[in-house]
Amino acid sequence: MSQALDDRIALLAPALFHHLGADGVYARTALFERVIEGLTKLISRYRDPSAEVMRFPPVMSRAQLERTDYQNNFPQLLGGVCCLHLHGSAEPSLPGGDWAAAASTSDLVVTPAACYPVYPLVAARGAVAEKGLLFDVSADCFRREPSRQLDRLQSFRMREFVRVGSAEQAFGFRSQWLERANELAGLLCLNYRIDKASDPFFGRTGQLLAMSQVEQSLKYELLIPIYSSERPTACMSFNYHQDHFGSTWQINGKDGELVHTACVAFGMDRLGLALFATHGARLDLWPERARETLGL
C-alpha cells in the first residue's frame, strides 16, 4: 500500500462518507451521491434498448442462493437474515433482551451480487428465444469482508448488465463490454488497466477451476489505482459464466441446449471512490471531459 495514496484517501474520506459504527458500512454524503447519480445515468446511456430493467432489494431467497452453492463457494462472504420466530403478540419479552441469541435463520439471505436473482426469473419463463435476453439489474449487495479501507465495503451497490443466450451471444457481449470499458474509463479520465482475474469466480469448490478460469479467461477486471498503484482496485468485472447458471437453473434455448450467460458488473461505490481518489474532492477542478460525461 502506498503511504501517499493512503493519506490522500484519509483526507478525502470525511467529504464522502460517515462511518456508521461498523467497518465497511457508510452513509454517503451529498457530494459523493452527485457523482454516483452521474455514473448511474452514464451507465444507463450504455443500456441496450432491448434490455429489461429490474431493481432488486438487498435481500433474496435463501433457497435460490443455496441452489448456486454460494454457501460452499464463498462461505466467508455470505450473510443471512436472522429473525425471532414469535407466535402471537402476547409473547413474553426475552430474558435480558438478548434477542440475537434467540434468533434463527430465516428464508432470506443478503444479496451478494446483483445478477443472482435474475437467473431463476428467466428459468421460470421457459425456453429462451433465439435472440436471447438482456437485463439491466442492480442491488445493494452484502459481503462479509469488513475492512478499514474504503474500497472494500460490507454493503455496497452493484449495477450489472446480464446477457443470456447462446455461447456466441454471451461471449460476444462480454467481448463488446471489454471494448466499451476502455471508452468509459477514457471519458471519466481514469488511469486504468484491464486484466484477467485470478480469484476463482466459482469460489472454493472451484479452486481447481481457478487455474482453468485464468486459462479460459472467464473473468476480467477493470483495475484503478485507489490505495496502491501496484495493487489497483477492481471497479468493474466482466464475467463469462459459460453454462454454469444455465445448468444450475435448467435454462434452455428453443432447441433444448443449455443457455450460456455473461455479465458486466459496475462496482458503483468503488467507481465513485476511484473518481474522487483520482480527481480530488473539488468537482469544479475535475477535468472538463469527466465533468461533462457525468453532467456535473
Instruction: Between 167 and 281, name the residue whose CB sits nearer to Zn ion.
Output: 167
Least CB distance to ligand ATP at residue 43 (A)? 13
Is 141 near Zn ion (CB under 5 A)? Answer: no
Least CB distance to ligand ATP at residue 91 (A)? 37
Is 145 near ligand ATP (CB under 6 A)? Answer: yes
What is the C-alpha to C-alpha distance for residues 149 and 224, in angstroms, rounded to an integer?
15
Residue in the shown chain whose Cβ atom is closest to ligand ATP = 267
Q: What's the grid cell of residue 254? A: 428453443
What is the C-alpha to C-alpha distance for residues 61 and 46, in angstroms, rounded to an integer?
30
Q: With CB cut-offs between 5 and 8 Å by kind, which of Zn ion, ligand ATP, none does residue 236 bind?
A: ligand ATP
Is 115 near Zn ion (CB under 5 A)? Answer: yes
**Judged by CB under 6 A, which stretch of 64-72, 98-106, 128-136, 264-272 contacts ligand ATP?**
264-272
**Judged by CB under 6 A, which stretch of 13-21, 45-53, 118-126, 153-161 contacts ligand ATP?**
153-161
Q: Is 10 exposed, middle or buried (0-12, 13-18, 19+ CB in 10 A)?
A: exposed
Is 279 near ligand ATP (CB under 6 A)? Answer: no
Q: With CB cut-offs between 5 and 8 Å by kind, which of ligand ATP, Zn ion, none does residue 234 bind?
A: ligand ATP
CB-CB contact of 128 with 144 (8 Å): no
**Interface with ligand ATP in residues 111-130 (CB under 6 A):** 113
Is 270 near ligand ATP (CB under 6 A)? Answer: yes
Is 267 near ligand ATP (CB under 6 A)? Answer: yes
Q: What are phi and psi of 287, to 5 degrees?
A: -55, 140
Is 223 near Zn ion (CB under 5 A)? Answer: no
Alpha helices in 145-242 (DSSP H): 167-187, 207-216
Helix/strand number for the chain, H first, E second: 11, 12
- Nearest by Cα to 19 from 202, 153, 181: 153
Q: Dihedral of the CA atoms 279, 283, 286, 289 (nearest 10)?
A: 120
Is 156 near ligand ATP (CB under 6 A)? Answer: yes
Least CB distance to ligand ATP at residue 146 (A)? 9
